[in-house]
């Protein structure tokens, strides 16, 4: 098991200077993995970030921020094209950083919700399968795996459940297009976190371990014992990454609805969350 942390815990957007500060800190804390978010293309030096991670012995993943003008299934063809171009940019960036996984809601803009009839949803699913099939070819050629993330109903109306994600992945049927789960979202949408993890099974290639309030993992009411048991049941050995956000950066605070500090400090959230996860999976 590789324990990681997303730099959104401390800062947004990530800059090269912040990467130079945070990567050594992440390694010093005892993490195995660092996750770099891309909010805008070329917001930081990808080659330098990858060098820093490698120098400190850290695995890398990249999170694609799907904003309002980036959407693979939007009715506007120009927005769809912009979404594809952004995902391709993130794939190239991940390759530069030697990142294994590109993760996120790689289907629609975060915050876009709409009521769809069964026929409309079937049309959008078919469109997404076509888009992801092409992007999976592009990613696979560069050694990157797309890890598609279901979100909660307040952030998207399209993919909320593990079951819906499985439908997409099985239809794409490409080794470079798999699934990720995030316990924050799954806690809202799934009847059972353990059952959701077992349903995804070998398709699960990335995992976000987040508390129900996005605070320190282990400090809330999530059924962590069930989560750990299910991950063991499916033989999961990929990254387990803490994702949270700082309330100090207004743009990300609004996007993620972070209205108050979630821990005494970002460092405390990361350190204490890692200690909990290490204990949880110690068996």
CATH assignment of the domain containing 123: 3.20.20.150
Q: How many domains, in total, are found in the chain?
A: 1
pLDDT value of position 82: 97
Q: Annotated catalytic, 126?
A: no
pLDDT tens sequence across 23-75: 999 999 999 999 999 999 999 999 999 999 999 999 999 999 999 999 999 99
Average pLDDT over residues 187-207: 98
pLDDT value of position 201: 98
pLDDT tens sequence across 69-119: 999 999 999 999 999 999 999 999 999 999 999 999 999 999 999 999 999
Catalytic residue, candidates 20, 40, 149, 190: 149
pLDDT tops 80 at residue 261: no
Average pLDDT over residues 149-153: 97
Average pLDDT over residues 180-199: 98
Q: Annotated catalytic, 18?
A: no
pLDDT value of position 260: 73
Domain that holds residue 22: 2-280
pLDDT value of position 225: 97
DSSP secondary structure string for all residues of the chain: -EEEEEGGGT-SS--HHHHHHHHHHHHHHT-SEEEEEESSTTSS-HHHHHHHHHHTT-EEEEEE---TT--TT-SSHHHHHHHHHHHHHHHHHHHHTT-SEEEE-TTS-TT------HHHHHHHHHHHHHHHHHHHHHHHTTT-EEEE----TTT-SS--SHHHHHHHHHHH--TTEEEEEEHHHHHHH-S-HHHHHHHHGGGEEEEE---TTSSSTTSSS--HHHHHHHHHHTT--SEEEE----TTSHHHHHHHT--S-SSS-HHHHHHHHHHHHHHHT--
Catalytic residue, candidates 155, 190, 211, 243: 243
pLDDT tens sequence across 203-258: 999 999 999 999 999 999 999 999 999 999 999 999 999 999 876 655 666 667 77
pLDDT value of position 252: 64
């Amino acid at each position: 098991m590789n324990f990681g942390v997303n730099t959104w815990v401390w800062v947004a957007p990530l800059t090269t200077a912040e990467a130079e500060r945070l990567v050594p800190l992440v390694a010093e804390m005892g993490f195995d993995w660092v996750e770099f978010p891309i909010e805008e293309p070329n917001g930081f030096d990808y080659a330098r970030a990858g060098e820093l991670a490698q120098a400190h012995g850290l695995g890398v993943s990249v999170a694609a921020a799907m904003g309002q003008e980036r959407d693979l299934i939007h009715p506007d063809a120009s927005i769809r094209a912009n979404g594809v171009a952004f995902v391709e940019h993130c794939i190239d960036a991940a390759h530069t950083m030697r990142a294994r996984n590109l993760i996120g809601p790689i289907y629609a803009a975060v915050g876009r919700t709409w009521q769809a009839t069964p026929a409309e949803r079937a049309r959008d699913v078919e469109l997404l399968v076509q888009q992801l099939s092409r992007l999976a070819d592009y990613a696979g050629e560069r050694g990157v795996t797309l890890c598609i993330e279901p979100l909660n109903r307040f952030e998207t109306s399209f993919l909320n459940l593990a079951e819906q994600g499985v439908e997409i992945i099985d239809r794409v049927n490409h080794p470079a297009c798999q699934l990720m789960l995030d316990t924050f979202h799954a806690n809202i949408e799934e009847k059972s976190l353990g059952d959701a993890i077992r349903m995804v099974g070998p398709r699960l290639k990335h995992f976000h371990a987040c508390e129900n309030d996005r605070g320190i993992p282990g400090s809330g009411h999530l059924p962590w014992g069930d989560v750990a048991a299910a991950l063991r049941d499916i033989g999961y050995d990929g990254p387990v990454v803490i994702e949270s956000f700082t309330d100090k950066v207004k743009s990300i605070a609004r996007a993620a609805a972070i209205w108050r500090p979630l821990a005494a400090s970002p460092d405390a959230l990361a350190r204490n969350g890692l200690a909990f996860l290490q204990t949880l999976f110690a068996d």
